Amino acid sequence: MNTRIPPGRRSATARIERAPLTPFRLSDTFESVKDIFEEKRSFTRRVMVAGLLVLLLAGLLVARLAQIQLVQHDYYVTRADENRIRLIPVPPVRGLIYDRNGALLAQNLPSFALKITPEKVNGLENTLARLGDVMQLSDRDIARFKDRMHKTQRYNAVPLRTHLSMEEVASFEVRRYEYTGVEVVAELARDYPLADITSHLIGYVGGISDADYANLDESQYQGLTQIGKAGIERSHEDDLRGVPGNKMIEANAAGRRLHDLLGQGTLPVSGADLYLSIDAKLQTVAEQAFGELDGAAVALDPKTGEVLALVSKPGFAPAPFVEGIDGDSYRALLDDPERPLYNRALLGTYPSGSTIKPFLALGGLHFGTINPEKPTFDPGYFQLPGVARKYRCDKRTGHGWLALDQAIAQSCDVYFYQAAVNLGIDHIDEVLGEFGFGHVTGVDIPNEKAGILPSREWKRRVHHDAWYLGETVNMGVGQGYFTVTPIELAQAVARLAMHGGGFRPHLVHAQKDPASGNTIEIRPEALPPVKDIEESVYARVIKGMTMVTQGPTGTAYAVFKDAPYASAGKTGTAQVTALKQDETYAPKLDTVAKQLRDHALFVAFAPVDDPQIVVAVVAEHAGFGAHSAAPVARQMIDQYLLGKVLYQPPQAKLPVTPQDIVPAEADDDDNAMPAPAAEGSPVPPN
């Protein structure tokens, strides 16, 4: 039977039948078995290497964990705490400043400040813009805030505005919920009760500038934004500042403050309280005694060198500097023609005028060039032999015949022209240098300036010229190159009153230790005694100075005649511009511009037998010393010795001065006492 195969199947079968047959080989089986064993051995090796590597790494990990957990446990605990705990600086309370009687001169008053903690604020610029709706913010406030923000940690609050009014505080508190990271903080702000009266003396504090940061130890100013800028605040910054403390806070990993850690941290140490030698009542009386005049007054205790009063008028209000004075206000102070920022007591250099005459008398008596009993004739002018130029006396008709006592009492210029020539510039320089002229006194406030004590060497060094005899003549009345500062003049008179002894002027009388509460008095620093001048010489000069205030012919007798104490003094008038030989005085002071009027000077000490106070007064552009400066000194001495002011200056017209002049038509010969001899002068060097 024939079975028919379908075409499709037949085709498949055919293909199978046609496929070639591969012959079986035993070697192929062995090769296959061989590969399997090799792979197993390779895998085993790899597992062992990996296992050893894992064990090694595990051993290293265990060793490292052991080192961290056991060996370095304390170190990493500390690091962990540092990540979690932050130190927030706590500023110290600045020390107070008192006068010698306990009156406050610088204090700390409660104040409110608007502060921002940058890390808590979302959108700082937007927050600053919105705060302008609540209170007034100037561009200076914002610029100052950003500058401070860049100098502190972001988790510390940075002041934006200080000295907020109660209205501003209330306005902010109502909307406080709108300002995350912004708060009003109660703090202490520096305040000066006597304001401009003690501005040049106490100085002020202000914001810490980049220049300040370059010269300070930042660790001592953690949390502080102000530093002493002038006066006592600056010179005693290290004492007044105190030592910052800190408190601990707990923060998260991002540094955001979580809460305070109570009982942790260190307490700040308050600054030391300073007790100055200043008498606040005396300071106030001196300032008020000037009236509308500008000038300076310095009062010293000659037995200790303590500064009893230091006045520079006009003063300035220190409060704007504490708050951060704006540029326009500061420029206005700088451009003020009366220069309120200028400390005249320490920086003002003036011709001494006739206040130098007692020191020339000391030199003349010491070196034997003055016979105190021998009178000199004053015709109203002085001439050097063979020279036509006339050096005028303050009294145009002359004083006639005068010996030393009356020459001092009446302030005879001609007598002291001749005394200066006889003494010579070398001896003048020697004597005046002994009393401290031409040198800073070293008083304990910054930026003191020295006057000029000219000499042959000084003239050669500064002007590259020889010293001329005409310049020595000018020295006889305190004109020419010679200048003094008020404090320098006060120290010299104090040394005269103490017969050559004396102490360095200083302002800090005592200091209170904030830790112990003990008050430590400052020991006066004795100055080297003036060399070789005899007691009889001092007695004779002081006799003449006593006649200035106590004798009927004395230039200051009208001011001191009814004083219940004996004083010794000397008037002075320092010319600002030159006089011509035949100029005469005009009947009214207002015929001359203020800036051309003479300076008025007066020095005094009292009581004569037991000096307790020395006063030096300079009244700028005020005329004669007896009329303008002596009344200021009298009121100061009254206040200090008596506790009240007895003297009241007469309410009279302003006095006539040597600058109330009308030009002469006939003679143009220059007789300017303030001007030194010109280069090429026909007067030969002496």
Which residues are the active-site residues? Answer: 354
Q: How many CB atoms lie within 10 A of CB 354?
A: 28
Query: Which ranges constitute the DSSP H helices of 118-176?
Result: 124-131, 139-149, 166-174
User: Under a CB-based contact definition with an 8 Å cutoff, are residues 286 and 194 in contact?
Assistant: no
> How many other CB atoms sit within 10 Å of the CB of residue 566?
14
Taking the C-alpha atoms of residue 217 and residue 161, their distance in angstroms, rounded to an integer, is 26
Query: Reduced to 3 states, what is the DSSP secondary structure of residue 666?
Result: coil
- Three-state DSSP at 204 gives strand
At 260, is the secondary structure helix, strand, or coil?
strand
Measured between alpha carbons, how far is residue 439 from residues 49, 277, 339, 345, 432 in Å?
A: 89, 23, 24, 14, 10
For residue 449, count other CB atoms closer than 10 A to its CB: 14
User: How many beta carbons lie within 10 A of that of residue 535, not counting itself?
Assistant: 9
Q: In this structure, what are the phi and psi dihedrals at residue 286, rounded to the nearest 5 degrees?
A: -65, -45
* Residue 571, SS3 per DSSP: strand
C-alpha–C-alpha distance, residues 686 and 672, integer Å:
20
70-84: string of b/e by CB count within 10 Å (b at 16+)? eeeeeeeeeeeeeee
- With beta carbons less than 8 A apart as the criterion, state whether 296 and 304 touch: no
357-367 and 413-423 helices, crossing angle to 10°: 40
User: What CA–CA distance (Å, rounded) separates 619 from 629?
Assistant: 6
Measured CA to CA, the distance from residue 437 to residue 482 in angstroms comes to 9
Nearest to 128 by CA among 119, 116, 112, 113: 116
Q: How far, rounded to the nearest angstrom, does the alpha carbon of residue 480 sit from its chain's CA centroid?
A: 31
- Tell me the C-alpha to C-alpha distance, in Å, between residue 290 and each of 8, 312, 398, 445: 139, 10, 31, 23
Cα→Cα distances 461→439, 455, 456, 464, 471, Å:
17, 10, 9, 6, 16
Q: Which residues pair with 573 in a beta bridge?
A: 600
Paired sense of beta strands 97-98 and 273-276, if any: parallel
DSSP strand pairing (400-402 vs 376-378): antiparallel
Contact between 643 and 612 (Cβ < 8 Å):
no
Token representation of residue 456 = 């042959």
> Beta partners for 615?
299, 604
d(CA 248, CA 263): 9
